[in-house]
Amino acid sequence: MRAAISILAAALACLPNAAFAKSYVTPAMHARVAAGLDDLLKMKFDAAESEFAALEKLNPEHPYAGFGRTSVAWMRYIYENEQSDQSLLKPFEERVRATITTAERWIAKRPDDAEAWMAHGAASGIYGRLLVTRRRYVKGYFTARRAMKSIHKALEIDPDLEDAKLGIGMYDYYTDVYPHFIGALAKLVLGGNRARGIATLREVAAKGRYSKWSAKMLLVEIYNHDPFGAADPKQAVAIMKEVRAAYPESSILHSAELVSLYNAGRFDEAAAGAREFVRRVETGRYLPIEKAKGYGILGHALWAQGKAAEAVDAFTTGAAVELKGALSRWAVWGLIRAGNALETMGKRGAAMDFYARAKNQPDHWGYRKLAVRWLSKPFFENGPPYSMVPSHK
């Protein structure tokens, strides 16, 4: 969940502000971009694909349509399949390359187009996010650094390009934070600045047009998880209330609100919300794969309330959710958390069975080493409440 909000924000960061000093994007194109952005936030990927395909017909030479379709491919991999279906990676990477090529052709003829420079940088940036998600941290960093060259060029042309400032804020914050947790980056001088990044994101959240939602979601992630003094779960709850009022049918935003409630210590509300989340899955309002997420959130809320046995039941129910015959991401995490909860009940023998099952699953998410850790030694973690985010340290 920690990565989920920033990934979504990265996918949306390039979408344009309609009031640039000089723009090659027509009002009709802006309308398609706005509609596609709304569909992405609502998790309506087919509709978003249609909007960006229509945008491409309006101007097939401009890179916005390509980046929009790249964002759809990214979101399908991250959210629709929880990074389970590896066959989706190839079409995503193909769209990244196609967008970069389109942007370079456009920029060669129109080097004064700030939006095109931003699209060029955003395509590399979203690929960098993929690499980080797949734990290829060094290559991900250098890919993101190359992306920033184009983003800075966009801002050189148009200093008021708020969407580009969003990318700068993300880069400043994460290149300061990641080296503290990722050994492969610890010896690199990345040049980030957490405080400056947060300040930039706050500016975009206040002044941005389309990018304001992305900035708000990134601030929610920071307020939920920042380990260096910026954490403020109560503020995350307040922001998510605003975001969900605008997009009440978005499952990813719903789950982000529940995580914020949990981190703010509002366990009763998190549990009630998780049950509603599961009902929405069961009635077809949310994707079937998201049932494991709903039960995962419910399990953590119950565990924090001192109801470890009920938490085990919730985690176990979620751990049965499959995608194409294999356990989903949250299902595997449910296996590990069921084992952890059992250990807090003094039932290590039963917990070992859950860890063994998790260990034998495909390791798309880096969870196997967590299962191996708890197979080799008794569970210990600061809590309750226990983090809803897996720790890979």
- Please indicate, yes or no, if residue 167 is contained in any of the structural domains: yes
Regarding whether 187 and 284 lie in a shared domain, the answer is no
Containing domain of residue 173, as a range? 2-231
Regarding whether 222 and 106 lie in a shared domain, the answer is yes
* pLDDT value, residue 18: 41
- Please indicate, yes or no, if residue 246 is contained in any of the structural domains: no
* pLDDT value, residue 19: 45
- Please indicate, yes or no, if residue 381 is contained in any of the structural domains: no
Residue 274, pLDDT above cutoff 60: yes
- Which has the higher per-residue pLDDT, 193 or 144? 193
Q: In the structure, what pLDDT confidence band is assigned to residue 186 with cuts at 50, 70 and 90?
A: very low
* pLDDT value, residue 180: 57
CA angle 48/92/40 to nearest 5° reads: 25
Return phi, psi of residue 111, to 5°: -65, -10
CA angle 204/208/211 to nearest 5° reads: 85
- Please indicate, yes or no, if residue 193 is contained in any of the structural domains: yes
Regarding whether 194 and 71 lie in a shared domain, the answer is yes
- Please indicate, yes or no, if residue 292 is contained in any of the structural domains: yes
Give me the count of residues in the chain.
Answer: 393
Q: In the structure, what pLDDT confidence band is assigned to residue 374 with cuts at 50, 70 and 90?
A: very high
Regarding whether 154 and 19 lie in a shared domain, the answer is yes
Regarding whether 128 and 47 lie in a shared domain, the answer is yes
pLDDT in tens, 61-89: 999 999 999 999 999 998 888 888 888 99
CA distances from 181 to 67, 174, 229, 379 (A): 30, 11, 16, 21
Number of domains in the chain: 2
pLDDT in tens, 321-373: 998 888 999 999 999 999 999 999 999 999 999 999 999 999 888 899 999 99
* pLDDT value, residue 97: 95
Return phi, psi of residue 323, to 5°: -130, 115
Phi-psi region of 135 (alpha: psi -120 to 50; beta: other; left: phi over 0): left
To the nearest 10 degrees (0 to 180), the angle between helices 251-263 and 233-246 is 160
* pLDDT value, residue 133: 78
CATH number of 19's domain: 1.25.40
* pLDDT value, residue 306: 96
- Which has the higher per-residue pLDDT, 258 or 207? 258
- Please indicate, yes or no, if residue 166 is contained in any of the structural domains: yes
Regarding whether 226 and 264 lie in a shared domain, the answer is no
- Which has the higher per-residue pLDDT, 110 or 145? 110
Residue 253, C-beta contacts closer than 8 angstroms, at least 6 positions apart = 41, 217, 240, 243, 244, 247
Q: Are 211 and 10 in contact (CB under 8 A)?
A: no
Regarding whether 170 and 44 lie in a shared domain, the answer is yes
Q: In the structure, what pLDDT confidence band is assigned to residue 391 with cuts at 50, 70 and 90?
A: low
Regarding whether 151 and 271 lie in a shared domain, the answer is no
- Please indicate, yes or no, if residue 127 is contained in any of the structural domains: yes
Residues 31-35 have a mean pLDDT of 92
Whole-model pTM over 0.95 = no
- What distance, in Å, lies between the first and last C-alpha atoms of the chain? 17
CATH number of 345's domain: 1.25.40.10
pLDDT in tens, 212-236: 898 999 999 999 999 889 999 999 9
- Please indicate, yes or no, if residue 112 is contained in any of the structural domains: yes
Average pLDDT, the chain: 89
